[in-house]
Amino acid sequence: MKLTRHTDYALRILIYSALQPQSRLISIQEVTDVYDLSRNHVMKIVQRLGQEGYLSTIRGKGGGFRIGLSAEDINLGVVVRMMESTTVLIDCDEPVCRISPSCRLKGILADAMSAFMAVLDSYTLADLIENRKELAGLLAVG
């Protein structure tokens, strides 16, 4: 499965946020500069992560965002499911596949997706930032 850009960027934003001191507000521009991402994408993703409680957002001049939950409480599988519009690997209905009534591929791929998601469910954001110093150096986090 290939994750969408939104999911990829959401995970990057969460990693960056979790590396910051809790009291520090992060700007959209900061994230776009650090990761070289589209400002529009980052704004939409930060808004969504804020709505879901993963980020705490403050609007207006001097506003920004920070991590909203502890890294240990942010499950990767939950975040991926939230950000992905679907976790179905194959669409047998568009166009309708003639062998669909007897085909086993869809079931096998569903099993594979379940296994993939089970692995993600076993990790949290804390696992992604165990190498905090290394990541902070790469992202120039002070």
pLDDT tens, residue by residue, 64-100? 999 999 999 999 999 999 999 887 888 888 888 989 8
pLDDT band at 128 (very low <50, low <70, confident <90, very high): very high
Residue 3 CA to residue 84 CA, distance in Å, equals 7
Q: What is the pLDDT of residue 142?
A: 54
Which has more confidence, 97 or 12? Answer: 12
CATH class of 5-139: mainly alpha
> In Å, how far are 53, 82, 109, 120, 131 from 49, measured between CA atoms?
6, 9, 29, 18, 23
Q: Is the pLDDT of residue 1 over 80?
A: no
- Residue 27: CB partners within 8 Å, gap ≥ 6? 64
Strands 55-58 and 64-67, by their bridges, are antiparallel
Q: What are the sequence ranges of the domains in the chain? A: 5-139
pLDDT digits (tens, 9 = 90+) for 24-45: 999 999 999 999 999 999 999 9
Q: Report the predicted TM-score, pTM, of the whole model to 2 decimal places.
A: 0.90
